[in-house]
Chain A
């Protein structure tokens, strides 16, 4: 039994990797042949970023079983810290991919620190406090970056809050300009970088879920008191999942931001958090492949519906509801199960 079950999750994981790689290869071939519309091309990096956002949020919501309403806050931390790093390194590191990689790592570290600081007070508590605290965190981070000024000149970094008091010297550069956000960004994010980030995210998440720590995290979700009584360190494992989730969101934020020449803090608001949560819920909690498909499809859909202009959001909402109904329909589910089992039988016969 154990073996069959193991191989079932392993098979699903490989299917996920396979489909992501296939999608990447297909897009590269189509792109090379000039068959990809420019609007779709412009969406490839955001799609990758949202996929990473959805998979990482699924770690908190699906695997750990805690509601987070501020995932965009970590994306924001990553976007600002990562992009600032890239701008600071612009002259010293000429290789764009290397600069991007370093920036994503810095973004992930800062987002992880933010996750850790939130986790310390919240994850010790019993009860659903995470939702409310992450909601507040998302809003606070937004106002912080809306009022933060960061500049660099020959004397080093200068930070000020509320108004620009960085007093930059000759040749100095204002990086973060409060409500103006960050401008003059070199667009160094690429589809390939996004693809690599998705693969790294999947490796991290799948390995965590299949590890001893992953079993502990799922045991806590199942029954916290039972988990405590068998000797699971509840706070530690919750913290581990939450910090990893936050750091991946930070990397996604940096990837996302460096696809544009300018962005502002308001981009990463409550609506973005909810959008990512919708991806997770639609794709199925704990189902990473579902999150990926939902994130990609729902990022493309509004664009694809552009020709219906006025009815766009209406159609979008209707499709959402239909998908929701379809994925929760017991008849459809049993039909899918039967399809799967008959498929298996055919294989066994063969």
Chain B
């Protein structure tokens, strides 16, 4: 299968802190790939670097055969790579619909078909389309952040801990939507603390520890691996 995203030997620093230490991985078309790991392992840093919010000192990030290099974040969205940042970064003062419209900011032309599609994935948002986003519940805000990213018609969507702080029932709902997106052919790079849930939807996974990838395999392999069981699945 065609590789859409290829990360090769990236190193990222916050001042003197060496947060990402030479990691490489790839994502193929139509796959769900998950990055799991403990707090501070460098998962968000990795996604933010791919999205152009941070820069790598070395190596390369190839997206659909093009080197993203030191391209600015705002250019990367229009190339078809969308990030749903950690912690539900939505526009609190805008309505649900205005948030979704902002998601199509880099696109020209009619967006009504995309709105319908997003509302199809997230019926809860449709019911609340004119509600001010700041008054949505945490789960609804997460859905809005995901829906907004989909509005740019991304080739690859990167989700940073979509289940963070949600009740189990909502976590399940979010993962159902991820599955649904996958069935419709969306390529997903998923960062999660919830290793069990992430590995069960993922085709492949990478395990990160203090800025390095320490383990990789298919979702099932990782779910069955003793190290993972011990470290992340409580037994």
Contact = CB atoms under 8 A, between A and B. Distances in A.
Contacts of B51: 229
Contact of A229 (B78, B84, B93): B84
Contacts of B82: 229
B95 A1 contact: yes
A232 B107 CA distance: 11
B89 A231 contact: no
Interface stretch (A114-122, A181-189, A215-223): A215-223
Residue from the set B73, B77, B130 with the largest chain A CB neighbour count within 10 Å: B73
Contacts of B77: 229-231
A216 B106 CA distance: 11
B105 A226 contact: no
Interface in A281-325: none
A7 B149 CA distance: 28
Contact of A222 (B83, B85, B94, B149): B94
B60 interface: no
B148 A230 contact: yes
B90 A226 contact: yes
A228 interface: yes
Given A1-B130, A225-B85, A232 B93 contact: no
Candidate in A1, A215, A228, A233 with the most chain B CB atoms within 10 angstroms: A228
Given A1-B95, A222-B93, A229 B83 contact: yes
Nearest to A233: B74
Contacts of A231: 73-78, 105-106, 152
B89 A234 contact: no
Contacts, number: 67
A2 interface: yes
A218 B152 CA distance: 19
Contacts of B171: none
Nearest to A212: B105
Contacts of B84: 229
B119 interface: no
Q: Is the interface of A mostly helix, strand, loop or mixed?
A: helix
Categorize the interface residue count of chain B.
20 to 34
B226 to A, nearest CB: 37
A228 B93 contact: no
Interface in B128-172: 129-130, 145, 148-149, 152
Interface string B91-113: 11111010000110110000000
A1 B94 CA distance: 12
A231 B78 CA distance: 7
Contacts of B148: 226, 230
Contacts of B103: 230
A219 B102 contact: yes
A229 B85 contact: yes
Nearest to B77: A231
Given A229-B84, A230-B77, A2 B97 contact: yes
Interface string A227-241: 111111110000000
B215 interface: no
A234 B53 CA distance: 11
Given A230-B77, A233-B74, A1 B91 contact: no
B105 A216 contact: yes
Given A223-B90, A225-B85, A225-B89, A230 B95 contact: no
A222 B91 contact: yes
A229 B105 contact: no
B214 interface: no
A232 B104 CA distance: 10
A228 B97 CA distance: 18
B197 interface: no
Given A1-B129, A222-B91, A226-B90, 11 more contacts: A2-B97, A215-B102, A216-B105, A225-B53, A226-B91, A230-B148, A230-B152, A231-B74, A231-B106, A232-B74, A233-B74
Interface of A: 1-2, 215-216, 218-219, 222-223, 225-234
- Minimum-distance CB pairs A-B, first 10: A231-B77, A231-B106, A226-B89, A233-B74, A222-B91, A1-B130, A225-B89, A231-B74, A228-B73, A230-B105
30 contacts: A1-B95, A1-B130, A215-B105, A216-B105, A219-B91, A219-B94, A219-B102, A222-B91, A222-B93, A223-B89, A223-B91, A225-B53, A225-B85, A226-B89, A226-B102, A229-B77, A229-B83, A229-B85, A229-B89, A229-B149, A230-B102, A230-B106, A230-B149, A231-B74, A231-B76, A231-B106, A231-B152, A232-B105, A233-B72, A234-B74
Interface of B: 51, 53, 72-78, 82-85, 89-95, 97, 102-103, 105-106, 129-130, 145, 148-149, 152
